[in-house]
Amino acid sequence: MLSSSRFVQAAFSTGKTLKARRYVSKEIGKIKEKLNEIKARIKLYRIQLSGDDGDALNLMTVRRRHFLPQPDDADIVGRFNDEKILLERLLMNHHCQQQQQGSCVISIVGIGGLGKTTLARKLYRSNDASNHFHQRIWVTVSQENSLKGLLKKMLLQVPGITINYLENKEENDLIDMINVLVRTERILIVLDDIWREDVCIWMQGIFRNMNNGSRALITTRFHNVAKRADPRSTPYQLSLLNEDESMKLLLKKAFLYEDAAANCCPSELLDIGHRLMRKCGGLPLALVVLGGFLSIKDKTPVVWRRVLETMDWDTEGRECQEILAVLSYEDLPHQMKLCFLYLGAYPDDYEIPGKELIRKWVAEGFIPQQGNKMMEETGEIILEELIQRSLIHVNDRTSNGSVKTCGVHDLLLDFTRSVAKKDRFLTVCSTQNDQPAVSLTTSSHRVAINIIDNTLGQ
C-alpha cells in the first residue's frame, strides 16, 4: 500500500489524477468489502460486540476462581464397555498363543474426533495397566515421522538409554533392541494416531507369537493400517455416542461437573439442550467443543436458543466440528484469538510446554497488561480459558495444578492454520532436515518452519 506522502502526491500530481483516483476507488472498495464481510460474520454468528479485552479477562479471572481443572480423562463418557473389553485384551496372559484369532497388537479404529486417543490414554494410565506391565511406552505418531525416528523415541523412554547411545544405531539395530525388550520384560507400547502402513510392518515381526504378556496398542483412522499391524486381528471399531451418552458429555462440559447427568440441567434448558446435542451427531469432539462454548455463556433459554439458531446446518457428525470451531473462535476476545491462532505454529501431535507457550505469547505482545498483575499470570488465565472452552486439551499438570504440557486436536489445529494463513497471521511449512531450506513467498507476519528430523522424528 502507498505511504501517506506518496498517496497525496499521486492523488494531486498533474497527469496522474485519474490513475490515482482509480487506485483510491479500488482501495476503498476493498475496505468496504472487508467491512461487509465482518458485518456478515457478526450477523451469522450472533457475535456480541462487547467492551475491551480487559473486561473479558476480568470475567475469565472470576470464572477461574469458581472451577478447578478437570482430570485429563474428564471427557470419557459412554466408553465403559469399550474400556472393559480393551483392558481385558491388554491384560490377558498368553493371549497371543492361546487364541489363534487373537493378537498382541490391539487396534482402536475410528474417525477423527471420536475419542480414540482419550480412551487409549485412560487405558495407558489405569492402575491395572500400571500394575500389570513392567514398563509402558507412549509415542504419538505424526504423519511425517520416519520409522527410525519413531523407534528412537520409543527407546528413549527406557531407563538407561540415552540419545548419545542411539546416535549411530541403524534401523535394524533399533528394531532388534525393541525385539529384545518386549521379550525380556512385559511391556505396553502405545502408538497413537498412526497414518501409514509401513509403521505397522515391523510390529508384525516383533509381536508375533509373543508369550510373555507384552502388548502393543495402536489408534488409527484407517482400517487398512490396523489390519496391517496384525492381519489375524479384528480392529476394535469405536462407535459414535448414543443420545443419552451425548447429552451427558455435553452437560458435563457445559456445566463443568465431574459427573453430569440430565437432572443437573435446568428443566427449561433440557429441550434446547437435546436439540443442540443432536446437531453434533454423537461425535465426542463436537460435543466437547460445543459444551466448552456453552460453559462460558449464561445458562438461559434465550442464550441457548440463539446458539441453536446459529447452528443452522443440515450436516451432522464429523463435519460439524469445523463449524463449531468457527463458532467458538468468533466468540473469543481479540487477544485470545491471537493466542489461539499462534498454536498453529506447533507441529501436529506436539506436546506443548505450558510455560513455554505463555512466554511466547508474552514475547509476541498478545498478553495485555492488567494493573500490577504479571503478564505470565494473565497468560495462565488465558490458557485455562482456552482449556475450559475445549479448544486446548491438557496432557499433563504439575503438582500445583499448572499446565505442564498441552495440545490441540489435529482437526482444530487444521482450523487454526487455515484462519491464520487467510488472515496473514501465520504461514506454516515443513521441510526435511536433509533437504535444502524452503523458499517462501508469503505476506504473513509470521512463518513457522517445522523441520522433520529423519533420525529422531519431528
Per-residue pLDDT of the chain (458 residues; tens, 9 = 90+): 444 445 445 444 545 555 556 666 666 666 666 555 545 544 443 334 334 454 555 545 444 434 444 445 556 788 999 999 999 999 886 445 444 444 688 999 998 889 999 999 999 999 999 999 999 999 988 765 678 888 999 999 999 999 999 988 998 999 899 989 988 899 999 999 998 888 887 777 777 767 788 999 999 998 888 888 877 778 999 999 999 999 999 999 998 876 555 457 888 999 999 999 998 889 898 899 899 999 989 999 999 999 888 876 554 444 566 667 777 888 899 999 999 999 999 988 889 999 999 999 999 999 988 888 899 999 999 999 999 888 899 988 999 889 999 999 888 888 889 888 888 888 887 666 545 444 555 677 787 776 665 554 44
Cα 417 from Cα 412, distance rounded (Å):
9
* Residue 290 CB coordination number (10 Å): 27
Distance from the Cα of residue 320 to its chain's centroid: 16
* Residue 177 CB coordination number (10 Å): 18
Cα 216 from Cα 233, distance rounded (Å):
12
Which of 385, 313, 314 has its CA nearest to residue 326?
Answer: 313
Q: Which residue has the cell 525416528?
A: 149
Contact 66, 250 (CB under 8 A): no
pLDDT at 147: 83
425's grid cell: 497471521
The per-residue DSSP string of 264-332 comes to GS-HHHHHHHHHHHHHTTT-HHHHHHHHHHHHTS--SHHHHHHHHHH---S--GGGHHHHHHHHHHHTS
Contact 249, 77 (CB under 8 A): yes
* Residue 30 CB coordination number (10 Å): 11
pLDDT at 346: 92
pTM beyond 0.75: the answer is no
Burial pattern 439-450, b for ≥16 Cβ within 10 A else e, equals eeeeebebebeb
Give the CA angle between residues 61, 46, 412 to the nearest 5°: 65
Annotated domain spans of the chain: 80-237, 241-330, 334-452
Inter-helix orientation angle 375-388/354-364, to 10°: 120
Strand partners, 237: 109
Q: 122: which residues sit within 8 A by CB, 6+ positions away?
A: 73, 76, 79, 83
Cα 268 from Cα 143, distance rounded (Å):
46
Which of 241, 225, 7, 245 has its CA nearest to residue 105?
Answer: 225
Tell me which fold the domain 334-452 belongs to.
Answer: Arc Repressor Mutant, subunit A (1.10.10)
Strand partners, 393: 407
Cα 216 from Cα 104, distance rounded (Å):
6
Cα 194 from Cα 180, distance rounded (Å):
23
Cα 34 from Cα 37, distance rounded (Å):
5
The DSSP symbol for 444 reads -
pLDDT at 198: 80
Strands ordered across the beta sheet of 105-109: 135-140, 187-194, 215-220, 105-109, 236-237
Contact 226, 234 (CB under 8 A): no
Which of 339, 329, 346 has its CA nearest to residue 395?
Answer: 346
Tell me which fold the domain 80-237 belongs to.
Answer: Rossmann fold (3.40.50)
Cα 170 from Cα 150, distance rounded (Å):
13
Q: Please tell me the total number of residues recorded for the chain in this structure.
A: 458
- For the CA atoms of the chain, what is the radius of gyration? 25
The DSSP symbol for 370 reads B
What are the phi and psi torsion angles at 262 (to 5°)? -60, -30
Contact 250, 81 (CB under 8 A): no
